[in-house]
Amino acid sequence: MSDPSPSSLPSPPASPSPAVPAPPRLAADPVRVVVGIGSLAIVGYGSWCITTGWTAPGVPLRLVAGSDSALYLEESKLPWTSGDMYTGSGPFLYLWLLKLTGQSLRAAVMVQSVFAAFAWSVLAISVAAAIRHRILRVVAAAAIMLLAFAPGVVLWNDASATESLAISLSALVVALVLRVVESATTRRVVALTAAVVVLAFARDVRAILVLIAVPVLVVLAVIRPGARRAVAAVVVAGSLAGVTALGLSNAADPPRWYYPAFETIALRIATQPDGPESLAERGYPRSRWVDELSNPNFFFVVATDRQWTRMEEFDELERWVHREGQATMREYLLTHPGWVAS
């Protein structure tokens, strides 16, 4: 009897294939969910502000405009190479924003809102990453995004002013500091250094803060030798940027400290109980027009486009502010810390 051909033999029973596990479901990171919701709220508020009414062609109804807004718009029309753009009424970073957006206040507001959402998101994620407890990470991220949406912060995103960029850049710098402390990679050090430099040109006060931070960073480098490379880059770049920013501020005509000093003295110090006496000791000029500046309604009328600079009634006061303004304000602030804190 012949052997059966291989094709006629029964096939062996197939071995059961191993069960393939279903791919795990990716749970949403609660920190990123919180940050995403906060970012949408910030950008959404900016969008709402520029689309819900108009007071004039191209001027959003809810846009916050100060006495310097019209000057910023005019100065942003200067050529990129014009020295007046860099020694004008305000730091040139905001003027660049207006120039890049074609002097469109709506576009500037949206850029400020989007950048604010980005900066505060990076800060929230950076803080959360430094916390081990899962619930506390979410709480910390939520607290930061709530701060970003607080009225005293988010309203500046819809302002024709320098504050929004300065606040957002400050948040970004803090976030990058946390990242560098965690791991001082080249990319993080470069990002932090660039952010510090840009911050110095966002607002004159920020330039001063950058210079104040330099000795603190030097102490940090002594305490933590591993951070010396990062600290050296930030110290050198920050010092150069801070000195340059303040140099441009003082090169303005008049220097940019002049108008804040004028407002602080005439509208705020002069209305304090001991204000008139303190100012009189320094020869503060008095007249009906000068005394009327303590009325906010009158002050902001003459402050619009800085009309007082063209009014003879304030010539003597202008000369006094140039001569005594900085020293008077510095002395009053140092001797009235409670008033400053309030």
3-state secondary structure of 131: coil
Q: What is the mean pLDDT of residues 136-144?
A: 93
109/156 Cα distance (integer angstroms): 9
Indicate the SS3 state at residue 143: helix
State the Cα–Cα distance between residues 168 and 5, nearest whole angstrom. Answer: 82
287-334: pLDDT as tens digits: 888 888 787 777 776 766 566 666 777 788 888 888 888 888 888 888
- For 12-66, give the DSSP string: PPPPPPPPPPPPPP-PPPHHHHHHHHHHHHHHHHHHHHTSS-EEETTEETT-EE-
pLDDT, tens only, 245-293: 999 988 887 888 888 888 888 888 888 888 888 888 888 888 888 888 7
The pLDDT of 109-132, averaged and rounded, is: 94
Reported confidence tier of residue 26, pLDDT bands at 50, 70, 90 = very low
The answer for 311, left when phi > 0, alpha when psi is -120 to 50, beta otherwise, is beta
Residue 101 has pLDDT above 50, yes or no: yes
The pLDDT value recorded for residue 110 is 93
Average pLDDT of the residues of the chain: 82
- 228: confidence class by pLDDT, cuts 50, 70, 90: confident
Sign for the CA dihedral angle at 235, 238, 242, 243 comes to positive
Mean pLDDT of 33-50: 91
Name the least confident of 42-51, 238-247, 260-269: 260-269
Residue 135 host element (H or E): helix 134-148
Closest C-alpha among 27, 28, 30 to residue 141: 30
- φ/ψ of 159, rounded to 5, equals -110, 145
**70-92 tens-digit pLDDT:** 788 888 899 999 988 898 888 89
The pLDDT assigned to 10 comes to 58
pLDDT, position 95: 93
Can you give the pLDDT at residue 317? 82
Predicted local confidence at residue 140, as pLDDT: 94
Alpha-carbon gap, residue 119 to 138, rounded angstroms: 18
Taking Cα atoms as reference points, which of 265, 270, 271, 272 lies closest to residue 323? 265
The answer on pLDDT for 3 being more than 80 is: no
Summarised one tens digit per residue, pLDDT across range 176-204 is: 989 988 888 889 889 999 999 999 999 98
Task: Return the pLDDT at 265.
Answer: 85
- With pLDDT > 90 as the criterion, what percentage of the chain qualifies? 30
Q: Smallest Cα–Cα separation from 113: which of 174, 146, 58, 158? A: 158
Output the furthest CA–CA distance in the chain (Å, rounded).
Answer: 135
Range from 6-15, 122-131, 259-268 that averages highest in pLDDT? 122-131
Assess contact for 73 and 305: CB atoms under 8 A. no
CB atoms within 10 A of CB 342: 6
Residue 250 or residue 62, greater confidence: 250
Confidence of residue 57 (pLDDT cuts 50, 70, 90): low
Q: What is the pLDDT of residue 105?
A: 86
Q: Output phi, psi for 160, to 5 deg.
A: -85, 75
Predicted local distance difference test score (pLDDT) of residue 176: 92
